[in-house]
Structure 1
Amino acid sequence: MKEVDLVIRGASVVSPDQIIQASVAIAGERIVAVGHDDLMPPAREEMRADGLFLLPGAIDSHVHFRDPGYPNKETWKTGSAAAACGGVTTVFEMPNTHPPTGTVEALRIKQKAAESSYVDFGIHGLLGDDSVHRLEELLDAGVTSFKAFVGNTFGNLPAPTDGALLEGFETLAPLGIRTVVHAENSSILLRRQQRMQEAGRTDTLAHLAARPAIAEIEAINRVLTLAEWTGARVHIAHHSAADSLYLLREFKRRGVDVTAETCPQYLLLNTEDMLKLGGILRVNPPIREPRHNQPLWDALMDGTIDMIATDHAPHTPEEKTRENIWDCDCGFPGVETQMALMLTEVNRGRASLMDYVRWSAVAPAKAWGLYGTKGVIAPGAHADIAIVDMARSGTLSQNRLQSISKISPWNGRAVQGYPLHTLVRGRFVMREGKLVADAAGWGRSVKGIQAMPTPKPRNTEHYLGAVLETPL
């Protein structure tokens, strides 16, 4: 029997359907065997993992690594280090950098920055009025997917007009490419914030008042209507409100290829925390009232919401702690703390480890065309593995974060369940809870392994490209 690089022995291997006692053999970048300990091949290195759990590495569909443009907030090296230490083995990075990832030139700058990544990555290109004619060019240059900022957020990129959004969907539907949408109605947000500021509202909850749930409801309805018409694949980012869940259920029932994510902050925090933490918790969409928390959990459990992401959005402590809420930058780091937070809820009985694997690895792998290569511990798959101790307790500390952004709403929160080791394509990038420093640059783009299902475009005779070519 041929010698392999590593055999992990004595652990419990977790899938969405079962947890089994098994050993895992790794050769090069891939898993070559999962099974009884006696059946494992000889190995250059062995690891005992008795009492631990092997999870497919988490895939975070939504991170902001701020590079290029804002290296004072984060870099690809520090952001991906945070991912590695959080059990996250693949990230998808957002285009609201400077310059925005809406041209091939800007993409090349970002790809260069990503050469320092510890973990594998996809890059969301920008879908906007100025870039809608370049979508295929961006795909050819290495973009894996797109992001449309229908609601305004950090960077203040202009929201695409409905015409540009429709045209973008018409381009991407026949290609089967999924578009992430920040679904808030930009007109409502901007007008209400202006009215709040005119009235002198600078308090913590003014941010929520300026971004009511109706802004999310309207935007999701509009986006999914366009997706249904064109057959485009869409992904709703950071779903925050109980009130808009009915739209996801209805459009899924009608066959629209929509996936959705929520984040730990919307599951576990609410306005009571906002009153305590102030601008630290300013984020888009906003942290909402307590009544929203449990319905989002229920939606994860029944599949209405598909996955967990973080919207890792780092800023410096000074940028998060200004007295006027409108002066506090929106977002906070999350990629390093997500797994510990969610495993704590598993330990509390709110979900099973199998549920968590479905949300953190399987569903995102399927949404982005990676399943089989990623998102699963099975022969032939990449050896992307988080080795987890469900019994380990501790307290989250913002001072220990790998992120440059040493400020977190989770600071001081007690957790039980930690990733101890993280492997990306067979290589340890975090070991014994510590970053493996020389693994920087090991991460690579997932562009070459994407395999999306067959596209299902609709109403193609009405696409702009078709009607422009029809003679009068």
Structure 2
Amino acid sequence: MSVSVNQPLDLIIQNGMVVLADQVCRADIGIQDGKIAVICKKIEVPERTPVYNAENLHIFPGVVDAHVHFNEPALGHWEGFASGSASLAAGGCTTYIDMPLNGVPPTVRLSALQRKLEAAAGESHVDYALWGGLVPGNVKELQPLAEAGVIGFKAFMSCPGGEGEDIFAEVDDLTLYEGMKEIARLDKVLALHAESEAIVSQLGKQAQAAGKRSAQDFVATRPVLAELEAVNRALFYAEQTGCKLHFVHISSADAVQAITEAKAKGMDVTVETCPHYLALTANDLARIGPVAKCAPPLRSAEEQERLWAKVADGAIDIIASDHSPCPTALKQGNIFEAWGGISGAQSSLELMLEEGWRRRRIPLPQLARMLSLEPAKRFGLYPRKGEIAIGADADLALVDLTLTYTLAAEDLLYRHKHSPYVGKTFSCRVQAAFLRGAKVYELGEGVKGRAEGVWLRHQAAAYAEAAAAKVIANEGTE
């Protein structure tokens, strides 16, 4: 039975299998002014209303990738907003949150945020938010960054690498504690790379001094113990300060369990893992080489299955790519010296459908929750983002769950076309992506039109701006 709508519609997406928060059903989606206006079994198409036929396609909420590194400003030749956001669109991602560390300067003060915004303006094909950074010496910079609209703050408990004066350094314990107190006062979230620097740095030095160079040698220098120690230390500080925490790229079931126990005590903490920990193992690192190097490193097949069990149980809140690209030359040679970061953002949705839904029968709404709904909720983007619902932005990923293809380097839209997934065969493929009701990508045609992604300032910043405008207006009438 069709439903006649009384309002004008800009677009109707027909006949798709729609992945809602609690079910998958065949439905039409009516879009008006960039928002989802109607969801029903069948919309009676008004005259001259454009229609997109999604027959044989599943319609997912656009992925919200809370963890990418696009390296602007100054290191855009590593990736940049234009190529990075294009690759996300091709992977069904319509919103991302860019990390603060790899640009020059890193986003640890207001002036650096302004430079990043200048670099992003007119370049992003999908919508975006930005992280600020917590580093030694910048605790007083956190409030201006928060007021300007950063989504939260990121800190490293192990050395992220880099040289020069203006680098993103890891936090010492006092900085971590004082930073947490300030972030709690600002009612923001602290995202943490949780590995013990004391453990991984010493193990790394010992391995290289002994002439060890293999992939398994590298993995051994960054054990689960280092992750677990850092997680527990951060949880202790968070308990003392009341700071909201988000643990990024957790690679072990034991660390997930520690976080789950903290939640049970009433702590405000979430956990993220990445597709590479769920799709690749340490044996793949040995086979592929530095292109699959990351930190924490890929784990054993046994550890991977334990992590999948946590996914199935609902213990993982968010799946994010941790897309960390670099020039191909930096992904060669000694595994210890090669750049540590995986280029994978374009493949996140397809990987989770392949490994999670098809191989392990994780329900589609559960995968959509981790990829879209929970990151949108955690970082203040919901209900605008994260879900196919009336009133939400019409951000949609259309996927053919029956189309088999083998990923080739030329399929990648990254600036540097390397990825550990090149050569992998998928039994699904993103067909199209819509951002606020406008098609931004179609398979066979590529990314569409101008880059019209917008900056999603944190809601609190919008409130502050409105309050400031009201004060100015009142002053003008006195």
> Given the two structures, how large is their TM-score scaled by the length of structure 2?
0.91
For 2:230 and 2:202, the matched residues in 1 are separated by 15
The equivalent of 1:335 in structure 2 is 345
Do residues 99 (structure 1) and 110 (structure 2) align?
Answer: no
For 1:349 and 1:250, the matched residues in 2 are separated by 25
Could you tell which deviates more after superposition, 157-166 or 39-48? 39-48
The equivalent of 2:322 in structure 1 is 311
Q: Is the 8 A contact 2:160 2:169 kept in 1?
A: no
Q: CA deviation at 1:45?
A: 1.0
The equivalent of 1:249 in structure 2 is 260
Q: CA-to-partner distance for each residue in 1:228-253, whole Å, 9 max, x for gaps?
A: 22221111000112232221121011
The equivalent of 1:460 in structure 2 is none
Q: Is the 8 A contact 2:160 2:170 kept in 1?
A: no
Q: CA-to-partner distance for each residue in 1:324-381, whole Å, 9 max, x for gaps?
A: 1122111121110111111112123431211111111111111112222111111110
Instruction: Map 1:258-337 onto structure 2 (within 5 A).
Output: 258-322=269-333, 324-337=334-347
For 2:269 and 2:374, the matched residues in 1 are separated by 12
Instruction: Map 1:55-454 onto structure 2 (within 5 A).
Output: 55-96=60-101, 97-115=103-121, 116-155=123-162, 157-322=168-333, 324-345=334-355, 346-440=357-451, 442-449=452-459
For 1:449 and 1:27, the matched residues in 2 are separated by 23
For 1:119 and 1:38, the matched residues in 2 are separated by 28
- Residue 427 of structure 2 aligns to a residue whose secondary structure is strand
Q: Is the 8 A contact 1:10 1:49 kept in 2?
A: yes
Q: CA deviation at 1:255?
A: 1.0
Q: Is the 8 A contact 2:147 2:461 kept in 1?
A: no
Q: Is the 8 A contact 1:2 1:41 kept in 2?
A: no
Q: CA deviation at 1:397?
A: 1.6
For 2:311 and 2:47, the matched residues in 1 are separated by 41
Q: Which of 9, 12, 19 is the aligned partner of 1:7?
A: 12
Q: CA-to-partner distance for each residue in 1:133-172, whole Å, 9 max, x for gaps?
A: 1111011223121101112224363211221111121112
- Residue 106 of structure 2 aligns to a residue whose secondary structure is coil
- Residue 215 of structure 2 aligns to a residue whose secondary structure is coil
Return the letter of the residue paired with 1:99. P
Q: Is the 8 A contact 1:15 1:358 kept in 2?
A: no
Q: Is the 8 A contact 2:158 2:195 kept in 1?
A: yes
Q: Which of 20, 29, 49 is the aligned partner of 1:44?
A: 49
- Residue 13 of structure 1 aligns to a residue whose secondary structure is strand
Q: 1:237 to 1:433 in 2, by over 3 A?
A: farther
Q: CA deviation at 1:411?
A: 0.8
Count, aligned residues: 450
For 1:376 and 1:392, the matched residues in 2 are separated by 24
Return the letter of the residue paired with 2:113. L
Q: Is the 8 A contact 1:9 1:48 kept in 2?
A: yes
Could you tell which deviates more after superposition, 428-437 or 101-110? 428-437
- Residue 205 of structure 1 aligns to a residue whose secondary structure is helix
Q: 1:160 to 1:237 in 2, by over 3 A?
A: same
For 1:438 and 1:450, the matched residues in 2 are separated by 32
For 1:433 and 1:294, the matched residues in 2 are separated by 35
- Residue 289 of structure 2 aligns to a residue whose secondary structure is helix
For 1:209 and 1:424, the matched residues in 2 are separated by 43
Return the letter of the residue paired with 1:13. V
Q: CA deviation at 1:94?
A: 0.7
Q: Is the 8 A contact 2:35 2:392 kept in 1?
A: yes
- Residue 389 of structure 2 aligns to a residue whose secondary structure is coil
Q: 1:302 to 1:176 in 2, by over 3 A?
A: farther
For 1:275 and 1:436, the matched residues in 2 are separated by 34
Return the letter of the residue paired with 2:90. C
The equivalent of 2:466 in structure 1 is none
Q: CA deviation at 1:41?
A: 5.3
Q: CA deviation at 1:42?
A: 5.3
Q: CA deviation at 1:40?
A: 5.9
For 2:337 and 2:74, the matched residues in 1 are separated by 20
For 1:171 and 1:120, the matched residues in 2 are separated by 28
Return the letter of the residue paired with 1:333. S
Aligned CA RMSD, in angstroms, stands at 1.7
Q: CA deviation at 1:448?
A: 4.9
Return the letter of the residue paired with 2:415. I
Q: 1:41 to 1:371 in 2, by over 3 A?
A: farther
Q: Percent identity?
A: 36
For 2:46 and 2:138, the matched residues in 1 are separated by 51
- Residue 234 of structure 1 aligns to a residue whose secondary structure is strand
> Given the two structures, how large is their TM-score scaled by the length of structure 1?
0.92
Q: Is the 8 A contact 2:282 2:297 kept in 1?
A: no
Q: 1:82 to 1:126 in 2, by over 3 A?
A: same
Q: CA deviation at 1:16?
A: 3.0
Could you tell which deviates more after superposition, 381-390 or 161-170? 161-170
- Residue 354 of structure 2 aligns to a residue whose secondary structure is helix
For 2:402 and 2:47, the matched residues in 1 are separated by 30
